[in-house]
Structure 1
Amino acid sequence: MRLSRADYTEMPWANGKGRTVELWREDGPQGLRFRLSMASVVENGDFSLFPGIDRVLTVLSGPGFGLVGDGIDLRCDLLVPAAFPGDVALRAVGVTAPVEDFNVMTARDLPAPEVRVVQTGQHAPPQAGRLFVFDLASQGLEISEAPVTVSGPSLLVLTRF
C-alpha cells in the first residue's frame, strides 16, 4: 500500500499548541496502539503527554532541539531517531528555527519498532511484522509485509506486530 500527502490527516496537537499530520494510525479497545505522524516544532514548549505510549522522534528538517524533563535530557538532531517515553512531561528547548519531525508512537505493550534512516537498497520486514518506508523527498509512505527496494533517502519503521 502506498500513501501520499493527500491521504494524511491534519489535526491539532493533543496539547492544543500546534498541529500534526497523521500518516497512519491503529487503535485498539484501550485507544492508540500505533501511529506515524509529522509535526513542526517552531518554538520552545511542552510536548503532549501520551500515557502508556513510547515514542521515537526523527528530525526531518531544521537544526534540531533538546528535549528535557524528569530525568531526561535528550538531543533531537537531523535524521537521528531519538526514543523517549510519551508519558513523561517533556519540553522542547533550544529551538532556534522551525523543525519538522517524524513521530512513531507505539503502545508500551507492543514490541518496540526499529526506526532508522537508509539511503538505498532492499529492506525486508521482520517475520510477522510490517515495514513502513517514509520517502524523505516525496513524503510518501509505503506499507509492506514483503521486501521493499529503497531508491533514495528514507526513514524505515520496522514493526514486529
Structure 2
Amino acid sequence: MSGEADERAIVRLPASGHRSYRWRNGLGTAAEIAAEPAEAGNGGDGTATRDGRGDAPTGPGWTLSIATVDADVVFSSFPGVDRQLMALSVGGLGLLIDGEPVELDRWQVAAFDGASAVSSRGVVGPTLDLNLMVSRDRFRGSLEVGVVDGSRLVTTPPGATTFVVFLDGLLSAEGPGLDPGALQRHDTIRLEAGTLSLTGDATIALAQVLPHL
C-alpha cells in the first residue's frame, strides 16, 4: 500500500491534457492545470463556470492555469481571492493594477488582491501568463521562477501541494510512479509528498498551496 501511495504522491500532468476553455467574457482562452477540488469549475453543461480571463472558478479553494491574453482586457473581480500571475512570453506583460502601471518581465510575478481593478496593457499579440489563485480564507499560495542547472531536487512541506511547471529549456523528471522521458513545455509535476529529481538545463515555475490550519 505504501508503494501505491508513493506513486500517487507524484503525478505528471501533461500539457496535452490541460483542460482548455474560453473565458466567460469571450476575450481569451485558458488551460487549467489543476484545481481544488478537481473539476470545480466545470458546469453541468460542460462549460467552465469561470468569469474573466482565465480567472478563478466560482468555488474552488485554489486553481492553477495558463491564460492567453490577445489584447488589452479587464480582469474579473474576485473578492476573497489572492492572485499571483507570472508572465511567460518573451516580451513580458503590462498590467494596470488599481490605476498603477506594472511592467512584468518574462518570468516575473505580480501578486494582487482578487478584488483589485486589474487589466492588461500594451498587448500587441498573444501573451501567456501562469496564474495561481487561492481562496484567502482557506489557503495560502506562492509562485516563483526556478532554475535547473544540471540537477535539482524538489520536495514539498507536509500538507502542501507543490507544482513544478516546465517553462523553457530541456528537462527530465524522476520520481515514484513517473514514466521516464523528457518533459514537454508546460508539462507539470504535482508533488504531494516525497522527492522529485529534475535533470537538465531549464527554467521552471514553482507553485505551492497550503491550507490554513
C-alpha distance in structure 2 between counterparts of 1:104 and 1:112, whole Å: 10
Gaps of 5+ in 1: none
Deviations 1:48-96 (A, max 9, x none): 2223211111111131232214254322220012111122221111223
Q: Does the 8 A contact of 1:56 with 1:84 survive in 2?
A: yes
- Is the aligned partner of 1:149 residue 2:176? no
Deviation at 1:113?
Answer: 1.5
Count how many residue pairs are aligned between Structure 1 and Structure 2.
Answer: 160
C-alpha distance in structure 2 between counterparts of 1:12 and 1:49, whole Å: 17
C-alpha distance in structure 2 between counterparts of 1:115 and 1:69, whole Å: 18
C-alpha distance in structure 2 between counterparts of 1:76 and 1:15, whole Å: 24
Match of 2:75 in 1: 47
Gaps of 5+ in 2: 1-10, 41-57, 169-183
- Structure 2: which amino acid aligns with 1:73? P
Q: Does the 8 A contact of 1:13 with 1:48 survive in 2?
A: no
Deviation at 1:98?
Answer: 2.4
Q: 1:14 to 1:53 in 2, by over 3 A?
A: farther
Q: Does the 8 A contact of 1:63 with 1:96 survive in 2?
A: no
Q: Does the 8 A contact of 1:132 with 1:156 survive in 2?
A: yes
- Structure 2: which amino acid aligns with 1:10? S
C-alpha distance in structure 1 between counterparts of 2:93 and 2:15, whole Å: 25
C-alpha distance in structure 2 between counterparts of 1:42 and 1:116, whole Å: 24
- Is the aligned partner of 1:68 residue 2:105? no
Of residues 20, 24, 38, the one that matches 2:66 is 38
User: How does 1:118-157 map onto structure 2 within 5 Å?
Assistant: 118-120=146-148, 121-137=152-168, 138=184, 139-144=186-191, 145-151=193-199, 152-157=202-207
Deviation at 1:143?
Answer: 0.7
What RMSD over aligned residues (CA atoms) do the two structures have, in Å?
Answer: 2.0
Question: What TM-score do you get using the length of structure 1 for normalisation?
Answer: 0.88
Deviations 1:3-38 (A, max 9, x none): 10232111111433111111101148x812111111
Deviation at 1:148?
Answer: 1.8
- Is the aligned partner of 1:6 residue 2:6? no
> Which segments of structure 1 move beyond 4 Å, counting only runs of 4 or more?
none
Match of 1:23 in 2: 33
Q: Helix, strand or coil for the counterpart of 1:6?
A: helix
Q: Which structure would you say has the larger Rg? A: 2
Q: Helix, strand or coil for the counterpart of 2:140?
A: coil
State the identity %. 30
